Amino acid sequence: MKLDLRLTHRFLDQLWCQAVVAFLFKDKSLLTGYLSRLDEKLTGTLTQLIDTNFLSGKRDELILVASQQRIKADKLLFVGLGSPKSYSFEILSAAIKRISSTLEKLELYEFGIMVPWVKGIKIDYMELIKYTIINLIDYYSIHKRDAVNFSLKVIFTIDEKNFPDLQFLRRELRTYLDLPASDYSIAIDNSIEAK
């Protein structure tokens, strides 16, 4: 398995890849932060999905939609995490397994993801990111162990306000990855596109 990890502060709508993964919580703030930006780029499609209760943010919800060329990725996978009060490593881990399984079935091996952060939670953001990356790698290491020439490219977009030091994160990840150095790369994209 070849793994290409990219760390960036770019928004999900700015990522060139097959799909982007957007997390939603089941609360009043469904369209705040980066989700409001996605909704704007999708010309209100996200608002319509929420208003018709097609998309609610409830835990275990997975909704795949085509981007209709309104963002750089071809598809969007919306993932519900439930109440922000119950957000934990375990909930995110279960979501990552469902995401990985869904993307694998769709044969989408180049995707972007933003690890969600909620104000007031007692989880360290960097630990959450590392934990998410390790869960993804573990999933594909098991399910694609015997695949010949399998390559996975994951772009992690990280909120610049919550975690400004991508170099530090890269060093931390290198200590956690249980792969030969020739089988993975971790690149940093420090550029930020205009809104």
- Say if residue 195's pLDDT is above 80: no
- What are the tokens at 52? 């018709």
> pTM score, two decimals?
0.89
24-52 pLDDT, tens per residue? 998 866 677 788 889 899 998 888 998 89
**And the tokens for 74?**
């071809």
Instruction: Determine the distance from the C-alpha atom of residue 63 to the mean position of all C-alpha atoms in its chain, rounded to a whole number.
Output: 14
Task: Specify the pLDDT at position 29.
Answer: 67
**Which sequence spans correspond to the domains of the chain?**
2-23+81-189
| 72: Cα separation from own chain's centroid | 15
Q: In the predicted model, is pLDDT for residue 194 greater than 60? A: no
Domain 2-23+81-189 has CATH 3.20.14: no
Burial 91-114 (b: 16+ CB within 10 A, else e): ebeebbeebbebbeeeebbbbbbb
pLDDT of 112 reads: 96
Residue 181: the pLDDT is 59
Strands 75-80 and 62-66: antiparallel
Higher pLDDT, 101 or 130: 101
Q: Mean pLDDT over all residues of the chain?
A: 87
pLDDT digits (tens, 9 = 90+) for 79-129: 999 998 888 889 999 999 999 999 999 999 999 999 887 777 777 888 888
Instruction: Note whether 141 and 105 are within 8 A (CB).
Output: no
